[in-house]
Amino acid sequence: MTVLNSNIPEAVRAVASNGTQLRYALMELSAQYKDAIALGRGDPDLPTPPHIVDAVNQAIRDNKTGLAPISGLAILRDAIAEKLQHDNGIPASRENVIVTTGGQEGLFLIMQALLDPGDEVLVPDPRYTSYDEAIESAGGKIVLIPTDHEDAFNLRPESVEAAITPKTKAILIITPMNPTSGIVTEDRLRAIAEVAIKHNLIVISDEIYEKFLYDGWQHFSIGSLPGMADRTITLNGFSKSYAMTGFRVGYVAAPENMIDAMTKIKAVTTGAAASISQWGALAAVQGDQAPLHEFHRIYTERRALLMAGLRAMNLNFSDPRGAFFLWTNSSSTGIHATELAYLLLKEAQVLIFPGTGFGENWGGYLRISILQSTDLLQEALARMQPVIARYGV
């Protein structure tokens, strides 16, 4: 892959090696284009289901606006534990759950409570780079586990085991995955569980996209397996499933001592998640699930549209088994993904994140989101086509 061209703005070039900062720099740059179509971030564009909004409004009318307990409303923690048992097969009670200010805080609390300086965490590559920052903030070290296009970015147990050292503390699993939209299949999860037990490791399982799988693929939670409940930390939330990103409600399920440690850290940092948001989350988990089926139908339609449009441009992508993205191989252009993302923004006014926003090894990929209406997706594809064609695909 070619090196970055000098015509890339300094604001982008300066952060090209930092995935998180690179994504934000491109978002800031896109604000200069009035008609830019954003296919970058993973924030659902669909409206929050009305019964969730109604629950928040009712909580305000009922003056349920005081501070919640640090670990979350007891009624919500009970409901989450019931959901984990019913949907995921994870044995859980209220004491195994903490409600966080979004999944991002949950991730940071996990690492702060779990890691000692020098501890290693095995992380699939590519990955959402907030994992890097959370691990490093706790003094931990990231050890990247390679995944590849031909295997739909599934995680190989033998690759996991090969990376284990005396300093390894935990294995991070993301399924469905951001940015690849791959999943870790049940057979691989069972084998990874055996590796974790054999080497006495903790598993951190990020399942935030669990409700959105396609083409018959099914979600499976590693924490449901025999011997795994006491060594699995499950990270999840309401943002993706229920279009509640702005509510900032996530949760972590883990052994009680881990929840206690996280609660102590949360008490001296952010405090409890917003109480009215928690009432909305309660309505989400206990209420009508029909909106999720409608969301799934819409995302399936958009996914098919984007797949067809990219194929028409002779761009291929890994099998998108879940989540909201197409992890698109752009190496045939001969242009580094960061430069190509800039050109697509400058010349087509379409914001797409380069693969280098998700790890330094991915200069030949773009992450393209399905989170726009079909009309806007069609418009984005039409704008992209001449740019891609110009650079020799």
Return the closest-CA partner of residue 103 out of 250, 213, 204, 243. Answer: 250
Which of 25-29, 199-203, 217-221, 233-237 has the lowest average pLDDT? 25-29
Could you read off the pLDDT of 225-252 as tens digits, one per residue? 999 999 999 999 999 999 999 999 999 9
Taking the C-alpha atoms of residue 97 and residue 80, their distance in angstroms, rounded to an integer, is 7
Mean pLDDT of 249-267: 98
Mean pLDDT of 360-364: 94
**At residue 29, does pLDDT exceed 70?**
yes
Residues β-bridged to residue 234: 205, 253
Could you read off the pLDDT of 186-204 as tens digits, one per residue? 999 999 999 999 999 999 9
Mean pLDDT of 317-338: 95
Residues β-bridged to residue 353: 367
In this predicted structure, what is the pLDDT of residue 3? 47
Could you read off the pLDDT of 382-392 as tens digits, one per residue? 999 999 998 76
Task: Provide the percentage of residues in the chain whose pLDDT is more than 90.
Answer: 90
**At residue 319, does pLDDT exceed 50?**
yes
Domains along the chain? 10-46+291-390 (3.90.1150.10), 66-286 (3.40.640.10)
Classify residue 130 as exposed, middle or buried by CB count within 10 Å of its CB (0-12, 13-18, 19+). middle
Could you read off the pLDDT of 51-104 as tens digits, one per residue? 999 999 999 999 999 999 999 999 999 999 999 999 999 999 999 999 999 999
- The average confidence (pLDDT) of the chain is 95
**At residue 13, does pLDDT exceed 80?**
no
Please give the residue that has the higher pLDDT: either 392 or 216: 216
Task: Provide the percentage of residues in the chain whose pLDDT is more than 70.
Answer: 98
The string of DSSP letters for 16-72 reads: TT-HHHHHHHHHHHHTT-TT-EE--S----SPPPHHHHHHHHHHHHTT--SPPPTT-
In this predicted structure, what is the pLDDT of residue 6? 53
Mean pLDDT of 319-344: 95
Phi, psi of 311 (to 5 degrees): -60, -40
In this predicted structure, what is the pLDDT of residue 128? 93
3-state secondary structure at position 173 = strand
pLDDT band at 5 (very low <50, low <70, confident <90, very high): low
Please give the residue that has the higher pLDDT: either 126 or 17: 126
Distances (CA, A) of 126 to 2, 104, 115, 137: 20, 18, 22, 20
Say how many residues make up the chain.
393
pLDDT band at 393 (very low <50, low <70, confident <90, very high): low
**At residue 358, does pLDDT exceed 80?**
yes
Which of 278-282, 308-312, 332-336 has the lowest average pLDDT? 332-336
Could you read off the pLDDT of 273-282 as tens digits, one per residue? 999 999 999 9
| Sheet hosting strand 353-354, strand order edge to edge | 316-317, 325-329, 365-369, 353-354
Phi, psi of 328 (to 5 degrees): -105, 125
